Structures are given as structure tokens and as C-alpha cells.
């Protein structure tokens, strides 16, 4: 969005960067600070485990859900920023989607849509698609975790759903980045 505001997006599109390099480079550059903060919290969380009451597998689950949420939210924001012309449009749409996403799945977890869907309890659906519900699920003690895979089992659904959303959003951005932005740049040039 900043590239569009400065009117340098067209110049960026003229470089030898592929669509994938352009989209993923912008995404990772925008997420660098958040990823560093996430990484910096891991030792602090591990210190909490030394005091007792919190197991390492709980920390691993919450850290994994947090990382997946960062990637999904960043991918959503990046895709919308590449699609929309103005920074405000991208920010407003991203915020709206995130509020609807969290609020919708909180309503589902609260039983607003019934106790179960297709034989699966709604709290399982909510933990699969809502970062907050996945964190709550990840914080619950897992009494029999023999491996990392067993430790992550309660949040596996969320991690897989997040991975799918990241691939879907970034795949859409990679396929459409030049079409979205060259059409918009052309419209800007046509306006008096």
C-alpha cells in the first residue's frame, strides 16, 4: 500500500522480480518485526515454565498458534494491500475481515449456530478456525504427550487451516498482483 501511495508500485512491477518474489518479499518484509518479537517471546515463555504450572507443550502450542496467526493476518493484509488502491481501504478491509473472523467464530463457539455441525461439536470447529479459540485449546494441559506431534494435536486443525489460508491468500496475490496493479495504475493515468 505504501508503494502505491508513493506511486512506485509500477516501477517495482517493471523490475525482473517474479510475482512470487514480489508478493512474498513484501509479505516477509512487513512481517519481519512481528516475527522478531514472536521469536523474542519464546525465551520469556520458557522462563515461565521454569517457575512451574505451565508445561513446555503448552508453550509450544501457543507459540505455534501465534506464529500461524501472524502469517495468516499478514497474508490477508498483504493481499488486500496489493488489491486495493489506497492504504486506508486496505487497512479498513483487513480490520473488518479480522473482526468478522474472530467475532464469527466466537459466536459459533458460544453455541449460536447450534451444538454441533455434521457430528462435530462447535467448539472443535471454532478451535480449528479461530486463533483465540485455538490459543485457549493450546493452553489446556495435555497429560499424555510423548512426542511433538502429540503435543500439537489439540491445535493441529488450526495449524492446517492457517497453512491453507496462507497458501490461498498468497497464491491469489501471486496470480493477480500484476493484473490488479497495472489496471489500477492505468486508471490513475487516465484521470485528469
Q: pLDDT tens-digit profile of 138-170?
A: 888 776 655 555 555 668 889 999 999 999 999
CB 78 within 8 Å of CB 26: yes
Amino acid 144: pLDDT: 61
| Mean pLDDT confidence for 131-140 | 86
**CA 159, CA 177: separation in Å to the nearest integer?**
26
Answer yes or no: is pLDDT of 186 > 60: no
Answer yes or no: is pLDDT of 192 > 60: no
| Cα 161 from chain centroid (whole Å) | 10
Highest mean pLDDT among 73-82, 145-154, 173-182: 73-82
Taking only the tens place, the pLDDT of each residue in 1-58 is 666 666 766 666 777 778 888 888 889 988 999 999 999 999 998 898 888 888 888 8
Nearest by Cα to 128 from 98, 105, 103:
105
| Mean pLDDT confidence for 127-137 | 87
pLDDT exceeding 70 applies to what percent of the chain?
79
Residue 185 — very low, low, confident or very high, per pLDDT cuts 50/70/90? very low
**CA 82, CA 2: separation in Å to the nearest integer?**
10
Answer yes or no: is pLDDT of 183 > 60: no
- For the chain, helix, strand, coil in percent to 5 are 80, 0, 20
Amino acid at each position: 500500500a505504501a508503494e502505491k501511495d508513493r506511486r512506485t508500485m509500477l516501477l517495482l512491477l517493471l523490475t525482473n522480480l517474479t510475482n512470487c518474489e514480489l508478493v512474498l518479499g513484501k509479505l516477509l518484509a512487513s512481517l519481519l518485526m512481528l516475527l522478531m518479537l514472536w521469536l523474542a517471546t519464546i525465551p520469556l515463555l520458557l522462563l515461565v515454565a521454569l517457575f512451574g504450572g505451565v508445561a513446555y507443550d503448552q508453550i509450544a502450542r501457543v507459540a505455534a498458534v501465534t506464529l500461524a496467526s501472524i502469517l495468516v493476518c499478514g497474508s490477508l493484509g498483504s493481499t488486500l494491500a496489493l488489491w486495493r488502491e489506497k492504504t486506508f481501504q486496505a487497512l479498513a478491509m483487513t480490520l473488518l475481515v479480522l473482526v468478522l473472523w474472530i467475532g464469527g467464530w466466537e459466536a459459533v463457539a458460544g453455541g449460536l449456530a447450534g451444538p454441533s455441525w455434521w457430528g462435530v461439536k462447535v467448539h472443535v470447529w471454532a478451535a480449528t478456525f479461530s486463533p483465540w479459540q485455538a490459543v485457549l485449546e493450546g493452553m489446556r494441559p495435555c497429560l499424555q504427550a510423548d512426542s511433538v506431534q502429540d503435543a500439537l494435536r489439540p491445535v493441529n486443525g488450526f495449524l492446517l487451516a492457517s497453512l491453507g489460508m496462507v497458501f490461498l491468500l498468497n497464491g491469489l496475490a501471486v496470480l493477480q498482483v500484476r493484473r490488479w496493479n497495472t489496471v489500477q495504475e492505468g486508471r490513475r493515468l487516465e484521470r485528469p
